[in-house]
Amino acid sequence: MTETGAIFMILTAAFLWGSWLMGTKYTKDFPLPAFMLWLYTSSFVLVWVVVLISEVARPTHFIPIIAASPWLAVLVMICGGAMAIGMQIQMSVVGKVGLILSNSVSATSGVLLGTLVTVIIGGLPDHVSVRTVVIAAVILIFATFVCQYSGKLRDRDLNRAGKRQRPKQDTKAALMLIFSSVLVAAYPLGLSSGVRTDFGNHGFPALVCIGLLSLGSFIGTVLYSGYLLTKQKQLRSVLDKKYKKAIMISCLCGVCHYGGNLIHVLAAPMISVAVSWLIGRSGNMWTYVWGIYHKEYTGASFKTYGVLTVGIGIYIFGVLLLSRSFFN
């Protein structure tokens, strides 16, 4: 695989990541914990089908490989579980305070934490400087803020201001989002520590690493969603026939989520986890593109569309800035 091919694969993963988050728009009153349970169940099945097919086609003898580094395997699984729980907390807060506040906090803390972890642990190619990575991270965060501002303008244009959260609620939500961002940052930690790349010989082969991450995500979600569903007396909703469509959507979202992770982990060793992580953050851009598709901006002013276009352009500029290092 070439570096150019790896970059396009990661952009594909970013598209999948930015798309599956729209799934909850179609699940109506299906409980979020049940949605996440089906999502990570389908993710686990998808990943391990790929791992086992690959093992038959090109044996890597992954069981002895895992047995040789059991503590690293446990760390990777814990990271997968933490990421899944963090995603669920993040999505629950979005439903309460809206996309603008939630993305403002999670995008900033998530990008910064993920970048710090991946640069320190995973390393960088010789031709990619830390300065370039930091500048790109700041650009992607700025792009998020610009796109979110377009959402605020859209709400103003369409008189969707709604009820303002009290300061205490905003503070609590911000703290929950920071906490969830720390948990989600466990994904790049697990990837940097657990996958073998051209920039470090530690870790497992890519498919073994993603297999452990998906197993951890599945176990973590079973425990967390199981607790919430039991507490809220909604366990029956997991298999309720009236949610058949919602369950199918949840499974499709899982295929997109960990399908993106699969593509990402296969491409990351070529250009480093740090660079691939940042390029993958462009997935946030697709939530706004899908917003246009779902006519969420219909009736908004020309200025609002202009701000959104600028925000998407800044995302593209950030990705190009990172990618150009591989074409010099």
Name the more confident of 86 and 126.
86
Cα–Cα distance for residue pair 117/109, rounded to 1 Å? 12
Question: Rounded to whole angstroms, what are the CA distances from 166 to 96, 129, 156, 169, 189?
Answer: 12, 43, 19, 5, 35
pLDDT score, position 53:
93
pLDDT score, position 84:
94
- 């990008």: which residue's tokens? 111
Cβ atoms 33, 234 nearer than 8 A: yes
Collect all residues with Cβ–Cβ distance below 8 Å to 290 and sequence separation of at least 6.
18, 19, 22
The residues with which 197 forms a beta bridge, in sequence order, are: 200
Q: What is the mean pLDDT of the chain?
A: 84
> Per-residue pLDDT averaged across 131-154, rounded?
85
Cβ atoms 248, 26 nearer than 8 A: no
Cα–chain center distance at 171: 24
Question: Rounded to whole angstroms, what are the CA distances from 252 to 144, 191, 308?
Answer: 26, 23, 28
> Per-residue pLDDT averaged across 291-316, rounded?
87
pLDDT score, position 100:
52
Model confidence at 266: pLDDT above 60: yes
Cβ atoms 287, 15 nearer than 8 A: no
Collect all residues with Cβ–Cβ distance below 8 Å to 285 and sequence separation of at least 6.
14, 18, 143, 147, 311, 312, 315, 316
> Per-residue pLDDT averaged across 159-167, rounded?
54
3-state secondary structure of 204: strand
pTM: 0.84
pLDDT score, position 211:
93
CA-based max dimension of the chain: 60
pLDDT score, position 181:
81
Collect all residues with Cβ–Cβ distance below 8 Å to 263 and sequence separation of at least 6.
9, 10, 12, 13, 16
Cα–Cα distance for residue pair 64/253, rounded to 1 Å? 32
Amino acid at the residue 318: G
Q: By CB neighbour count within 10 A (0-12 exposed, 13-18 middle, 19+ buried), where does 130 fall?
A: exposed
Cβ atoms 196, 202 nearer than 8 A: yes
pLDDT digits (tens, 9 = 90+) for 26-74: 888 899 999 999 999 999 999 999 999 988 888 877 888 888 889 999 9
Model confidence at 197: pLDDT above 50: yes
pLDDT score, position 163:
47
* Banded pLDDT at 212 (limits 50, 70, 90): very high
